[in-house]
Structure 1
Amino acid sequence: MNTDSATDFEFFILLAKLKSMSGAARALDLTPPAATKRLGIMEKRLGAQLVNRTTRSISLTPEGETYLRYATQIVEKVREMEEAITGARTDPQGLLRINATLGFGRTTIAPLVSEFAKRFPQVEVQFEVTDRPVDLIEGAFDMAIRFGELPDSRLSARRIMSNRRFLCASPKYLERFGTPEKIEDLLQHRCIIHRQNDDAHGVWRFIDEDHTEALKVRGALSSNDGDIVLRWALDGHGILIRSEWDLAKYVQSGRLEIVLPNAVLPSADLFVYYPRQRNQTARARAFIDFLVERFQAPFIPVDAGKLVRERKKRGARR
């Protein structure tokens, strides 16, 4: 494989990902005519059309799909070879591509990337945040940081943090509308809906021993942004489901209270996912170890039993 072929592979992978000739040209610091010419030379050499062109976007032909599959595998093998050669060096180096959820990635992971970059200056980090999960293999990501279960059987995962979920509300809401005593009471309350991916709107699921029960709740406010719904709960608009990672400081300060603390909801454990068939690079291992280290300290779990006892004491004093 010559240098031009290796560069062509990377060019085509980027083109397939962006589905735009002008976008690929900008990413590679080329003019659009130069990128078009490059693709034409590749197609002429192969004797096959790799993409279907329209005025606004491109799509891969069957031959293009085949080229992409092999190009991705070859580029990955080259990366593994380089890692095997340089792996004995003391400090990790090279390109590390990370994906995370939009809000959590922006507020929590991005500062950690900054710390990691200071500790390992030879690692080049490309960090992308998206509102939906991405295909790590097709997108050539080393890892993704997500809450919840493994989204793809082709992936492996490492748990970064255990993270239970609770119902919560502000004291002023509970004083005005009362505190639910059982799960069914939620049907009479104002619930704040956090829309996530393709979840059914307003359906809250609870774990009862070995099965799951679904409850269709209602409320006047809903959003796909976690920070927004948390702010609404703090403002007293209703009952919300949040993880203890988000809740701990607000519960301790008294701005939010746990509702139905013995109700069990599916957990929102934090995982880092990575392609199963890919050997982890030293830089990927270093970043995952760094995440595990950083998520050990700042977390204070919610003690549901203690909250029940404290609420009973407050009720007795009134």
Structure 2
Amino acid sequence: MVTSQPVPVDPDHPASAAGLAESGRRVFQIEEQALAAVAARLDGEFTEACRLMLSTRGRVVCTGMGKSGHVARKIAATLASTGTPAFYVHPGEAAHGDLGMVTDADVVLALSYSGESDEILLLLPVLRRQGNKLVAMTGRPQSSMAREADVHLDVSVPAEACPLDLAPTASTTASLAMGDALAVALLEARGFTADDFARSHPAGALGRRLLLHIADIMHAGDEVPRVTVDATVSEALVEMSHKRLGMTAVVDGDGRLLGLYTDGDLRRSLDDANVDLRTTRIGQVMTRGPRTIGADALAVEAAQLMEAHKISGLLVVDAQQRVVGALNIHDLLRARVV
């Protein structure tokens, strides 16, 4: 059984604060060099791998054992979320039935730094008979997997960051980066957009920002505070109090926007000795030409508009400038847009 040892207090010991920080910096340096070496080798094989994945009628099936399996699983997730249908299959489970998940239309992306993973090599004859194209990502161009593959992506690194040269470190970083390079190249080739990304992430913050529209969160119908231009300020205050949005639209007889009256306008009215809340018409004190937004705009656009103009609410109008809705900063907060 392995037991932990107490950390020495000697400042010159490798486990001292300075020694630990130096070890960490050394890892970054080694992995930076590894990434530079792999990037320099991107060539026609990378292009061909992308073309295979772009042209497939099926999906990209990622597989790998051990640490390579963890990397393959992450690559599959990144591909799937950026427009390339993909999933991960454990090679050990594949040999016991999960290979049925792979169709003849799929491209297989197999990861093994040694290129000699027995579990993957066992699957290759079956995949070949089924007609699957194989992209191998290894650190040994002369390995069995590299020779059997239709396309080989060389992710060999000068050295592992592990001082014992045992734990996969720089090599897994290089494989992850190669997977990201594939995903981004495919994303750009497909013309994949932020909206497309949001549709596959509806529960995330980006999904809310890119999929939620003003119409989804605005107050509409009788919930919209509005008074006609000949209403008194006190009548406008009653409307504002009932609708609780801190503002009211001022409209004409056809519901078209003429102006806006807010809590801020009320404070200014109270400071004006010429304003009698009971007799002054709202048209005399309202804000003309207020900021507005359309119902089909994104909710995040409302947040940006409010922030840019230091306002806390917006009226929603249609193409004829009729007031169809209203919202304030609290609606955006409840929708978790801001």
Task: Pick the TM interval, shorter chain.
Answer: under 0.3
TM-score using structure 1 length: 0.25
Relative contact order (C-alpha < 8 Å, sep 6+): which is higher?
1
TM-score normalised over the length of structure 2: 0.24
